Amino acid sequence: MLLEPARREGRRYLNPVPTTLGGLSLTFKVGPRFFLGARARSPRGPLGPFQTDARIYTTRPRSGLRITWIGHATSIIEIDGVRIMTDPVWNERAAPTRWIGPKRFFAPPLELSGLPAIDAVIVSHDHYDHLGADTIREMAQLAAVERARWIMPLGVGALLKRLGVPAVHCVELNWMDSTRVGTVQVTALPARHFSGRGLFDRFETLWASFALAGPEHRLYYGADSGEWEGFREIGELFGPFDLAMLEIGASDPLWPDIHMGPEGAVRSFRALGGHGLLMPIH
């Protein structure tokens, strides 16, 4: 069995299998590409504007399953009568500052003020492109989110509480732990990645993927992960999935252990069982 609760060495959580991130030498390789290669990574023309009509949320999806992709890893999932948001980032930049750092390619298709009532918010890990501080502060004040449960891996709750999320609404999970939101069981599962919002806090909070199991539908939210052998067990124990949301962005031969890329997403989808639909994210 590869699926088991996360382990630590000192203050640092460990990946489910040996994983290489790269050290200072990788920084020197990536630096020039990051600062000089922005044009190659960016769309040639503006994208959008895209619009989501908030009136769609006044009626439930006839199929029982509907996804609104906000961008990157942020989505609103409607599954068997429960509405769950993943990794909310409405910020202009995925960075600790508002003036420099990776910038979003298109404006969110739905304003935060137009959010429907949310039953739960999943935060998969503490990276800036999955946990937007300004977004969390604003969401914590919204009536649409005031009753939502915030579900996250171990250690992430401290940051959310500082950003205004009530402690009573925070649910921290280790890998293989579950919690129930209405009719849907949410289970935190291992992912092959890392955490950290600064230079010296890598691995100090946990990261995770999630399986959502309702009475009629099952969904896998892969968040951020490199390929690994555990996908087969995830599919066998928690599938078959009607939808698998797997990342395809940020991949590079320099760090194949922590981002799977498009081809890796196809292989991982097949390892999960290949049922239902593959939805690329990230």
Mean pLDDT of 210-234: 98
Per-residue pLDDT, 275: 96
Residue with tokens 């205004």: 164
* Percent over 90 (pLDDT), the chain: 83
Per-residue pLDDT tens over the stretch 60-100: 999 999 999 999 999 999 999 999 999 999 999 988 888 88
Per-residue pLDDT tens over the stretch 14-67: 999 999 986 655 665 666 666 666 677 788 898 999 999 999 999 999 999 999
CA distance 192 to 259: 8
Of 232 and 96, the one with more pLDDT: 232
Predicted confidence band of residue 253 (pLDDT cuts 50, 70, 90): confident
Per-residue pLDDT tens over the stretch 168-185: 999 999 999 999 999 999
> pTM value?
0.94
Min mean pLDDT across 42-46, 128-132, 220-224 is at: 42-46
* Mean pLDDT value across the chain: 93
- Domains of the chain in sequence order: 43-281 (3.60.15.10)
Strands (E) in 59-140, as ranges, are 65-71, 74-79, 82-86, 120-122
Predicted confidence band of residue 138 (pLDDT cuts 50, 70, 90): very high
Other beta carbons within 10 angstroms of residue 171's beta carbon come to 17
Predicted confidence band of residue 280 (pLDDT cuts 50, 70, 90): very high
Among the ranges 101-110, 247-256, 266-275, which has the highest mean pLDDT value?
A: 266-275
Mean pLDDT of 153-168: 98
CA distance 211 to 202: 25
